[in-house]
């Protein structure tokens, strides 16, 4: 019971501490500026323009094409190396014992 009275007394003290305070006043013209910004159409910050999407797609296509060409050339070179010289495969798998 004493705890409840202590809590109520504390609440009254806290509420009394705010007496005599005045409300915060916004600076002049703040309401008009906020209303002006709300009236403007919102821009989507995360969206890319159409040209940027096309450039990104072209870059992705170029990188993929280059990797396929590189892989095909590399595979052809390895196949020619094995077929052209039968000792090349044996030389590439040599282990050195030091």
Asked whether the beta carbons of 52 and 59 are under 8 A apart, the reply is: no
**Close Cβ partners of 56 (under 8 Å, ≥ 6 residues apart):** 48
Per-residue pLDDT of 13-66, as tens digits, reads 888 888 888 888 889 999 999 999 888 887 766 666 788 888 999 999 999 999
Q: Which pLDDT value is given to residue 46?
A: 62
**Where along the chain do its domains lie?**
65-98
Helices (H), the chain: 2-17, 30-39, 50-84, 86-92
CA max distance for the chain: 100
pTM of this prediction? Answer: 0.37
Rg of the chain (C-alpha set) = 38
């Amino acid at each position: 019971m004493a705890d409840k009275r202590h809590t109520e007394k504390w609440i009254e003290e806290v509420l009394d501490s705010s007496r005599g305070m005045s409300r915060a006043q916004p600076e002049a013209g703040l309401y008009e500026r906020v209303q002006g910004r709300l009236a403007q159409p919102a821009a989507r910050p995360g969206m890319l323009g159409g040209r940027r999407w096309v450039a990104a797609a072209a870059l992705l296509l170029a990188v993929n094409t280059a990797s396929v060409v590189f892989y095909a050339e590399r595979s052809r070179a390895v196949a020619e190396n094995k077929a052209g010289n039968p000792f090349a495969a044996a030389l590439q798998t040599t282990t050195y014992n030091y």
